[in-house]
Structure 1
């Protein structure tokens, strides 16, 4: 299923007001860890899957990447990306990321931020990514943590006064579709375990380099709204590499 909530006017009107939408990467709680896992981008070709507003594409060019391709299913997202991009070395393509069909060994680096939990066949996508990477190429991606996606509700348990008691985890081993609420109702996500994420990457031919479950940076923890983010992991980041030969 290739749901495109981002072209729903109600959903998008709320999404574009989120901090990470208006302020970019520095407003993303996981960015400081994601950035630390990126290889040297100077002179490299980069593919960004689920590029959204193009923040990662712009960053790659700031780091002197030679060319960048951003792929996203949403015309709304890509329209915003194009509005804030004035760089012939960045190309945006509208398509579901499951449908990519790039040439073998086309890119040095493939990245993705918070997109793959919307993808039903992650194992198939990993194989496509492995094929389009050059030998020795890097693959770094973030997803919502499986502790976060295990239940349809994807929310805290509260007491009678609205205080957050704990983050419940249930049906963790039952992988597959979750119909949840994020800005609007009926948002389709796909839950898979941490081990499935790692094993699908390995089965596609990659070597795992790092597994991270980031908390917000110290600077962001000064915001009282971020305090509870230390009570459960919200993000999973995996760094992998294609063999050199």
Structure 2
């Protein structure tokens, strides 16, 4: 089943209040590290899978991309993207990323930000992305870290006084569906190991360029809950390249 929690009005309202929603890329704790992995966009054709509010589409267009296609399964997300990140070079399309079809070599860059953990079948999608890219093309993505997705609840273990004790990691090698709680709502996500993420890319023909487990920026550590993010990885950033 292709997940679309962002069309839930209650969930979407909660998401719209997050720092990354109100402040854009600068409100995302992983952005400064992800930005370092991005290629030169000048004259490039860019595909953003699970584009959300379109922040990365706007960034690519603002840095010279010739064409940017942002896709998302949530029409609520796309409506916001058209308002917040509109530019002549950008088009938006409602579609699950698993349902997309493009001719070989249609794009020079494929991006995906915090969307791949909603995808059940990672391998076939990566095969498609490899075909869609031109030789030398870049695939850059962020996803929730396997340590974060393994147990499923995505919440800390608390002591009797409500203090954080530790973060649970269990059933790590049992990949598949998880009932996660995000913004107080139950959401289906998919856990896969770090080995699966990286070896799938390699087996599909990609060359790995960078793998990053981003820490919160020092100037964000005083935000509520942010200092606890130093206790376990929450996100995984990967850049890969299709050989020339």
TM-score tier by shorter-chain length is over 0.9
Tell me what 2:56 maps to.
56
SS at 2:77 equivalent: helix
Q: Does 1:207 align with 2:207?
A: yes
TM-score by length of 2: 0.98
SS at 1:135 equivalent: strand
Tell me what 1:9 maps to.
9
Tell me what 1:242 maps to.
242
Q: Distance in 2 between matches of 1:181 and 1:235?
A: 16
SS at 1:219 equivalent: helix
Tell me what 1:122 maps to.
122
Q: Distance in 2 between matches of 1:8 and 1:210?
A: 35
Q: Does 1:111 align with 2:89?
A: no
What are the within-5 Å matches in structure 2 for residues 160-199 of structure 1?
Answer: 160-199=160-199
Q: 1:106 to 1:190 in 2, by over 3 A?
A: same
SS at 2:165 equivalent: strand
Gapped regions of structure 1 (runs ≥ 5): none
Q: Distance in 1 between matches of 2:78 and 2:236?
A: 25
Q: Distance in 2 between matches of 1:34 and 1:220?
A: 16
What are the within-5 Å matches in structure 2 for residues 56-135 of structure 1?
Answer: 56-135=56-135
Gapped regions of structure 2 (runs ≥ 5): none
Q: Deviation at 1:224?
A: 4.7
Tell me what 1:23 maps to.
23
Q: Deviation at 1:225?
A: 2.8
Tell me what 1:140 maps to.
140
What are the within-5 Å matches in structure 2 for residues 141-156 of structure 1?
Answer: 141-156=141-156
Q: Distance in 2 between matches of 1:152 and 1:235?
A: 15
TM-score by length of 1: 0.97
Q: Deviation at 1:181?
A: 1.1
Q: Distance in 2 between matches of 1:70 and 1:161?
A: 45
Contact kept? 2:46, 2:107, Cα under 8 Å: yes
Contact kept? 2:126, 2:201, Cα under 8 Å: yes
Contact kept? 2:57, 2:85, Cα under 8 Å: no
Q: 1:214 to 1:161 in 2, by over 3 A?
A: same
Q: Deviation at 1:141?
A: 0.3
What are the within-5 Å matches in structure 2 for residues 25-44 of structure 1?
Answer: 25-44=25-44
The count of aligned residue pairs is 244
Q: Which moved more, 1:18-27 or 1:219-228?
A: 219-228
Contact kept? 2:113, 2:142, Cα under 8 Å: yes
Q: Distance in 1 between matches of 2:151 and 2:10?
A: 24
Q: 1:214 to 1:85 in 2, by over 3 A?
A: closer
SS at 1:65 equivalent: coil
Contact kept? 2:11, 2:185, Cα under 8 Å: no
